[in-house]
Structure 1
């Protein structure tokens, strides 16, 4: 097998095995009908959630293997670890503390054990990308995407577990309609809070992203920021789980006063980080244009959402799907180059800057024959206005 594929095999095969183990556990507990019913219902929000993080990542998209790893780790490895560790820790703690009643053990699992175990398991995906894929992990946006997709994967498998059990219980008891366990579980987990797990892990990702952006040469902060992000994820997860045992009013207050504000904050942060990438394009690419790598009008077009969209339309009209792919790749490489250069000027990039810069310039050269002309035309049509 070619060496370039060895990392995919190294991580892919264990993740598939973990996923199969989880599937067997759910199948044995809920039966075939419960498993497939839960799987189908849990799958419904996944394209929407992945699409949201794809939008966040669209200006300078990471390699698909990196994104697939984050999702697969959350869906397979993190979930299997959580299923095994949560029950084991509850059993150990309740055996050691004879005064704990069953309800207290449940609360202990929901508010302490599950948040710590699950957020640690999901954070491992972000940590691995942070350590072993530095070229794909270069800022806050990278942390948001990596953490978010790990959370989407975890939420998907956890939803399969809960919905499969609900379907099996309703079938056993002959219950249906709006009062069924399936309907209630679907409403709470899929309709009300589809972004819950992704949002928790995004907090961890933001910590890692800040460590890359602001603390590359500050070892204490480089360790403290990811730890602070993970702690914030655990606290928010604990508060959300605790709200499940509250009254409807208490649940609503936690949802409105805590979950929604944090969600809006994360949305604002993602939008700000995207805008910061566009500002980096407009700020740094003129230097490459002066050296002959871009035409004079290209930096302003590549730094404008309106012009980028128009470039893609023109490329599709003139060169079909091949032109569209070329412009998308050209825009992504140009944005990555701008971000890399901006980091170099801030002193937050590693010693492999020259290698990474050369690779991005070569990628731009490969796609220039089909991409450069639509980009220049878009710049002239839109007047170079940034948005």
Structure 2
């Protein structure tokens, strides 16, 4: 990729400069959903393709195993309070809001899905590390408060309104911060920050729900209505403040921007969490929920919609630059910048049989990653591996296109 400075985005190299012919599609003309086209004619690459770096590695697998063990320890600790039956029932019921929250996260993450390793790390960090740390510190704080005051109600209220928000948002927020430090190339902005923060929060809420559901079997429907219906996204909303802050930091050319962003997001998260816990302990919870929590949720949804729209604008603008250089046809650009057209293209590719369907999905993912990598360069945040990543992605895009359009040519479509 040519050198890019902040605010400056020259055209990418043409395919011929990488040893490929531009995708003119004149030899074979199968009908794809986005128009008449045929497979390009690739030349021998002038460069050696870099070795594919897998998101999964031995070290990564060990990290996930350790986090999984910590999660089991957290659930085991809760089982000591709820009993085995309570923990089993609580776990089964807690899966319901967890699935709903994860589907919501997937909807947010549609344009540029995050690596599975990073998402699984976030989920297990929330369910394991954040939960275990919170269980230990919150319990110790409540016991200390009771020992000093002799008032059970005051001790529990103070622990819930003051201690819990401080401890829990710190424990969850650190997981998002670790992902920023270790997976910065996949941490492109506020949407990614919301996705990672929401996934951490989803893991935390799942294990916490096991506790609440497991110890409330006699009136489980009421507790489920409160936690699983009225507030399944509560922890997500709190920790999302940290995610947005770190996402903005990720877009800064100053790599230490998180030093300022993390405390700002953390303060907002703690304040929201404290307000929620405080309102839940009053008789006016329902009016406060309607007046404050519902508008907050709607506001966050509107923010996500706006951020996703901005992502689409980036995707459209950056891929258009590659289109002008000869890497994509106009029909492909239209397909890549529309969710409905992407689904239509995937359905069409599946009808071709073989690996055409997976090639289409890979084509779309690689094109999206290419656009956001170029955006990083255009905003002055390009890493040392950007040129290597660009070449690898362009090679993958070309190979995927050959695969599904070649299959279409064979079938006469």
TM-score, normalising length: structure 1: 0.86
Q: Do the aligned residues in 2 keep the contact of 1:147 with 1:204 (CA within 8 Å)?
A: yes
Match of 2:139 in 1: 87
State the aligned residue count. Answer: 355
Once residues 92 and 51 of structure 1 are traced to their aligned partners in structure 2, the CA distance between those partners, rounded to angstroms, is 40
Residue 294 of structure 2, aligned match among 260, 279, 287: 260
Q: By how many angstroms is 1:253 displaced? A: 2.8
Q: Do the aligned residues in 2 keep the contact of 1:281 with 1:299 (CA within 8 Å)?
A: no
Residue correspondence of structure 1 range 38-77 to structure 2 within 5 A: 38-77=90-129
Once residues 203 and 332 of structure 2 are traced to their aligned partners in structure 1, the CA distance between those partners, rounded to angstroms, is 38
The answer to whether residue 8 in structure 2 is matched with residue 8 in structure 1 is no
> Structure 1 stretches of 5 or more lacking a match?
171-179, 376-387
Match of 1:351 in 2: 384
Residue correspondence of structure 1 range 1-387 to structure 2 within 5 A: 5-95=57-147, 98-99=148-149, 101-167=151-217, 170=218, 180=219, 182-213=220-251, 215-217=252-254, 219=256, 221-247=257-283, 250-319=284-353, 322-371=355-404
Q: By how many angstroms is 1:373 displaced? A: 8.1
Q: By how many angstroms is 1:210 displaced? A: 0.8
Aligned pair in 2 of structure 1 residues 225, 373: CA closer, same or farther (>3 Å)?
A: farther
CA deviation string 1:161-204 (max 9, x = no partner): 1111112xx3xxxxxxxxx2x12211111111011111211111
Instruction: Provide the secondary structure at the position in 2 that maps to 1:270.
Output: helix
Instruction: Provide the secondary structure at the position in 2 that maps to 1:120.
Output: helix
Match of 2:50 in 1: none
Q: Do the aligned residues in 1 keep the contact of 2:170 with 2:266 (CA within 8 Å)?
A: yes
TM-score, normalising length: structure 2: 0.80
Q: Do the aligned residues in 2 keep the contact of 1:73 with 1:153 (CA within 8 Å)?
A: yes
Instruction: Provide the secondary structure at the position in 2 that maps to 1:211.
Output: helix
Aligned pair in 2 of structure 1 residues 113, 3: CA closer, same or farther (>3 Å)?
A: closer
Instruction: Provide the secondary structure at the position in 1 that maps to 2:215.
Output: helix
Q: By how many angstroms is 1:94 displaced? A: 4.8
Q: Do the aligned residues in 2 keep the contact of 1:86 with 1:117 (CA within 8 Å)?
A: yes
Instruction: Provide the secondary structure at the position in 1 that maps to 2:330.
Output: coil
> Which structure: greater helix fraction?
1
Q: By how many angstroms is 1:99 displaced? A: 4.3
Q: Do the aligned residues in 2 keep the contact of 1:278 with 1:335 (CA within 8 Å)?
A: no
Q: By how many angstroms is 1:101 displaced? A: 2.4
Aligned pair in 2 of structure 1 residues 242, 297: CA closer, same or farther (>3 Å)?
A: same
Instruction: Provide the secondary structure at the position in 1 that maps to 2:111.
Output: coil
Instruction: Point out the structure with max Rg over C-alpha.
Output: 2
Once residues 264 and 166 of structure 2 are traced to their aligned partners in structure 1, the CA distance between those partners, rounded to angstroms, is 13
Once residues 221 and 407 of structure 2 are traced to their aligned partners in structure 1, the CA distance between those partners, rounded to angstroms, is 50
